[in-house]
Amino acid sequence: MTHLRIHAGPAYKAAADALREQAFGSHADELETSRMLVIAPEHVHMPHAAATPRGPIEGPLTRANAPSGSYGDPTLATREKGERLIAAMLDDLVAAMKGYMNRTA
């Protein structure tokens, strides 16, 4: 096993689709910020969170396109969403490991 993309597994995708309120996003957005509220809440400063003023953005993510550094809407993030997203990631991880173990047994 060389690559394990638990943020792209079926359980995570289903949870993200069910929880996502933002129209677009990918960096420091609603979903990433929600996960960080669980993993390292001391590094999340919600009073400073700001949605990308427009989107989707063409080209690279720069301060000109996204002054806050986020691409999406981190103001929609919650710890509860983060808990559900991380649980889904773990479900995908367990499924991937079981599949790997069955192939190598």
Q: What is the pLDDT along the chain (105 residues), one digit of tens a residue?
A: 566 677 789 999 999 999 999 998 889 999 999 999 999 999 999 999 999 877 777 777 777 777 788 889 999 999 999 999 999 999 999 998 998 888 886
**Residue 18 · residue 94 · CB < 8 Å:** no
Please count the CA atoms within 13 angstroms of the CA of 53 that sit on its side-chain side. 7
What pLDDT score was predicted for residue 84?
Answer: 99
Q: What pTM, to 2 d.p., does this model score?
A: 0.86
Q: What is the DSSP track for 23-88?
A: SS--BSSHHHHHHHHHH-GGG--GGG----SS-SPPS---TTT-TTS-BS-GGG--HHHHHHHHHH
